[in-house]
Amino acid sequence: MKISFIGAGSMAEAMISGMLEKRIVKPGDIRAHNRTNKKRLHTLEQKYGIQAADGLSQLFEGPDAVILAVKPKDVPDVLESVRPLVSPDTLLVSVAAGITIPFIENKIGRHIPVARAMPNTSAKVGLSATGIAFNAAATKQHRHRAFAIFSTVGMAMAVKEEQLDAVTGLSGSGPAYIYYIAEALQQSAAEIGLDAQTAKQFILQTIIGAAEMLKTSAQPPEALRKAVTSPNGTTEAAIRVLDEREVKQAFIDCVKAAAKRANELSNAEEEIPARE
């Protein structure tokens, strides 16, 4: 499989690293182009042995998939530039937030296979949760390619495009919610007398252990929480405070706010101007 990247940022690097580690592609079969930061592109070339393309045209010389990994504001210009280069069988995959499949189709102006993916930053450690939506032109083979690519950086699941805003609110922004909890636990540890390094180890293992329980247990989260909550015990005292502060509702509201913002960005893509 031959893969081309338009953009060489952190997500592109995470995907390159994952694909090479899982050996679904050889270094020489990956090409990348970065319009402005050539130093960054050279770094990836030296680190992973990939090919640095001098221009966009080189990226479209027989690839199985082209990954659009640029900032949303740069997408219109990029699509205008690649429109004459895209072949009918080339899978165009976008990881640009808020850029919809219809927007890409309209800019390209032809019936080509398109996938829109929403990974999260845990792709950097191979543990992303990625939602992928496809257009009608994407065949079973195209879908297989996309899943092969994103499975190298974690879990990948097909969703309808209209569900991607919800995926963004839940999972795309999700790591930040866990980091927020970790921040609070770190601060509370300092206030009850634990040094930062000791607290970090306990916090990390607690989060990892709880995640593994959620992953392997057939019980829902509520049942697992209640199993830890003994009457008149320490956990019950803690949960009482969370309930009094309506923390659960706050998390529900924050996910809804992120999903709403994702929808606003998706609906505003037609207002993104191409640079003069």
Give the pLDDT of residue 269: 60
Residue 10 marked as a ligand binder:
yes
Asked if residue 94 belongs to a known ligand binding site, the reply is no
Which parts of the chain register pLDDT below 70?
Answer: 269-276
Contacts for 176-180 with beta carbons within 8 Å, 24 or more apart?
177/251, 177/254, 177/255, 178/207
Ranges for all domains in the chain classified under CATH 1.10.3730.10: 173-245
Confidence (pTM): 0.88
**How far is Cα 207 from Cα 25, in angstroms, rounded to an integer?**
33
Percent of the chain past pLDDT 70, that is, above it, reads 97
Q: What is the pLDDT of residues 45-75, one digit of tens each?
A: 999 999 999 899 999 999 999 999 999 889 9
Question: What pLDDT is recorded for position 275?
Answer: 43
Question: How high is the pLDDT of residue 76?
Answer: 93
Bridge partners (DSSP) of residue 4 are 31, 66
Q: Are the C-beta atoms of residues 251 and 177 closer than 8 Å to each other?
A: yes
- Residue 7 annotated in ligand binding: yes
SS3 25: coil
Is 9 annotated to bind ligand? yes
Q: Hey, what CATH class is 173-245 in?
A: mainly alpha
Which of 37, 136, 242 minimizes the C-alpha distance to 13? 37
User: Which class would CATH give 3-164?
Assistant: alpha beta
28 annotated binding-site participant: no
Say if residue 16 carries a ligand binding annotation.
no
Report whether 11 belongs to an annotated binding site: yes
What distance in Å separates the CA atoms of residue 255 and residue 267, rounded to the nearest whole number?
Answer: 18
**pLDDT reported for residue 190:** 97
Q: CATH 3.40.50.720 in the chain, residues?
A: 3-164
Does the annotation list 114 as a binding residue? no
C-beta separation of 268 from 170 below 8 A: no
